[in-house]
Chain A
Amino acid sequence: MYGRTLEDQVLEFGHEGVLYRNSFMMYDKQTESLWLHVTGEALKGKLKGKQLEFLPSEVTTWQAWRQKHPETKVLLGRKARGPMGTFGLKQQSRHFGLSLGQGRDVRLYQYALLAKVPVFNHHYQGKAVVLVYHQESSQSVAYAAEAEGQPLSFHAVQGSEGELLMLDGQTRSLWDGLQGICLAGPMKGQRLNRLPATPWLTMRWRNFFPEGEVIGLPKEEEPAPKAKSEGTASGN
């Protein structure tokens, strides 16, 4: 999800009809520059090198989104043929991961790992980060792991109604995992900074970022693929 505003100019995008590294290219109607939709970066044309602003969005189930935003508007229309038109996020969750970062500097955390460690403390670009995965709603979020200048580390606490809560080890404050808001304790009212992160199908991600780092379960713990996998392109 990107903002279409670039330096006070509002862009509109069309489909270039070009496939590049398994991904389609967009062009903007204002300058006809070509953009990678997966990174939001212009590869060619007047705006070459420019980067679209990443806007926070979620990939979650219809049920979870509706509960959180009952007033939501919804795009309805013809569904795609094939698995994309019919698959469920929960059943297929092992094929997904959370891609952390923006542009080409990204790293994928597989849901198979996050399902086992739903609050995952890690480092990215030299900074402490925490990744949160709520299996019930198939939602994942990444935050900078600090508040009021203090580095924090978290662990998961099960809420009474299935919500994902976290306790930080430094101040023992209680946080809402998916909202990043502190509910109780010394940090009450503080909000964690959300980092750019997007859920991806692991296979598509590996095709697109062959050099990219995938953080997942050790091989022997991964769900066994039934057919030839995409692993040859992983570059790991």
Chain B
Amino acid sequence: MLLTMGNLRLNFLGAGLLLPTLALPAFAQDIFSEADYERNARQVIARDGFPVLNFPEMRDAAKADRELREDEPVIGVFLGNEAKAYPISVMGSHELANDLCGKIPIAVSW
């Protein structure tokens, strides 16, 4: 199971790329710095090569009932009296969505 889970990243990218695991030991004071970024970042696909969602069309719950299992995980957000759900199964093939919820600009990532 864990081995399968270890391939998540490949499945997220969906492009069948074989990606190196970058879990290198880090210098604590340096992690997430720009210098660390320059050392460890890898361009794996072109900028915008991944299909980010922009203000996607949403369906109602009755329609979703036909496509989602009851125990399927969703990212739910409730803002400004509006509720939106982003199933993780669908976010997995996009990773990122620019959207509005209750008129508030949000970024949904998984």
Interface residues of A (CB under 8 A from B): 1-5, 10-22, 24-27, 34, 36-39, 41, 43-44, 48, 52, 55-63, 65-66, 68-91, 95, 104, 138, 201, 203-204, 206-207, 210-211, 225-230, 233, 235
Tell me which of A5, A63, A77, A233 contacts B56 (CB under 8 A): A77
Q: Is the CB of B84 within 8 A of A72?
A: yes
Task: Collect the chain B residues with CB atoms within 8 Å of residue A10's CB.
Answer: 105
Give the Cβ gap from A89 to chain B, nearest Cβ, in Å: 4
Q: Is the CB of A79 within 8 A of B93?
A: yes
Chain B residue at minimum C-beta to C-beta distance from A83: B4
Q: Is the CB of A17 within 8 A of B26?
A: no
Interface residues of B (CB under 8 A from A): 1-12, 14, 19, 21-23, 25-26, 28, 31-34, 37, 40-50, 52-54, 56, 58-61, 63-65, 67-79, 82-98, 104-109
Tell me which of A19, A56, A85, A206 contacts B22 (CB under 8 A): A19
Tell me which of B2, B41, B42, B85 contacts A75 (CB under 8 A): B85
Query: Given A63-B71, A104-B32, 15 other A-B contacts at CB below 8 A?
Result: A12-B54, A15-B47, A21-B32, A43-B33, A43-B37, A60-B73, A62-B85, A63-B70, A73-B60, A74-B60, A74-B84, A80-B89, A82-B11, A83-B7, A211-B26
